[in-house]
Structure 1
Amino acid sequence: MRTFPLTYLASLPLRYAGDCTLLGVSADHQIYVEEIYGEQGWIAQHQIDMERGIIASLDEESEARTLLDPLPSDVIQPQSCWNTMKLNYAGPRWRGLREPERLLEMLRPISTADKIEVVKLLGLSLPPPMLLGVAESYVLSEACVLPPDVFFVCRRVRLAIALETVKVDEEGLPYDYDTLAIHTAHFYDRAADSEPALLDALTTLPGARLRNPMDCIVHDDYLFVSDSARGDSQTPSQVHVWRIEIPDDARHTPSEEERLYG
């Protein structure tokens, strides 16, 4: 699978520790972001400069505002995830009983070696065999890196975990497995024979520790990723920026003659 090196440039803090999404990136690399925060679901929108941080805001709750212009007509916005739908799948319920539901038949498998590494990487306090497999995958955002097949995606993955004893939920229903949702961001090559292994999809990007990557945009070989804090009071949500190092020979599109005769 084709991937490219990333050079870390910046992590730009927002104002709150809620959810955040990218509204767009302008031709001159101004970043437009929306935050949803607080129990009432207040909304704040910001214009961010890569050097100076937030330079304009509209904040619904505090009514604090500076001049925030409408989005430029040439703004690059997050794309619908039509090109990477192959990564989407939904399997079992989020929790239930393993045997009656034939759970293992519905999961995407994880190799034993990868289970050990995934448990370490995520800091899970469970024996690796209790990590049963991938129960769900959903692409939240995609951005084309190198047409027509290389993309960067933000993706939610749900892992199925076996429980030591049967538990009962708030509705009185028993369950002996549960699921854990994690967010990841990674390259995806549609031309590859298989999707990235879970361990590869969880590989840390240089320079920044992602918590809940939600949106991505690629423009002028810059990669922008919105990273929601979702209640992490230590630091607010952020927008991370990298430069994608694409070699010139990778951009070359072979002619019909080259494809036929090499």
Structure 2
Amino acid sequence: MVDFRIRIPNSPLSKDSHVIDGVVSRVDCHVKVLDDDVVERAIRAGLDVLVYAPHFTRLPEIRRRAAAYSSDELLVVPAREVFTGTWRTRKHVLAIGLDEPVPDFISLEAAMAEFDRQGATVLAPHPEFATVSLEESDLRQYRETIDAVEIFNPKHLPWHNGRASELADGLELPPFTSSYAHLPSSVGVAYTAFDREIETDADLQRALEGNVARRIVYDNGLCRLRTTASELAHLCYENTWEKVDRLFLSGTEPTHPHHIAYDGRFDDAAVY
């Protein structure tokens, strides 16, 4: 693993490697997969926390699975990566600490307003990556709502990570990283190490939102290249229009805004 950098939010960014004093909690801030193999890999990698946010899965089910796989060795925190906008113009936003479900395929404005209302911790994953991310203008517009920006993602090529760092630095927003694992083999290849003991969901929210020192740590070399290649191949598979058309545009899927579970609350914000 490479200790990429340490940063204390709202202070100048240092590229020197340091040891954070006190208790360090290692957090993989975004994974899509969760089973016995994933938990075993996470513990073997020395992780303390996984943030579990699978695609197109309602919050109660995410919570149930997170609780089932949490233990004294590994805390699994439920989260939602909400797909805002249409499929062709979608922008992903990661929310931790939601009290009530928020559907996909609503406007970015409506999603951010709902996160604000619920007091969720809001993260910007993979900024300006492909066609699925918040742009600089979005980060500026919602800077007071967004709590941290992802500055390293294994799916990224080097210039993507460089641009993400520029955005976080320019907006003076705290950084984070994750494995963004869609495949079990990717879990733990990148994590955020916090100078704070994290034992609950609320602990993680306070660490992400607060002035807590952190390190960005990731695999490098051939291992990193294998992860990037595998995850990008998976990205190509999951983002075919046929799959999305079959799964989500029927209007009856679990995270569609017109689903009965949302009781019509998001009908006006729906883009489909």
Q: Which has the higher helix share?
A: 2
Query: Based on CA coordinates, which of the two structures has the bigger radius of gyration?
Result: 1
User: Normalized per residue, which structure has more strand?
Assistant: 1
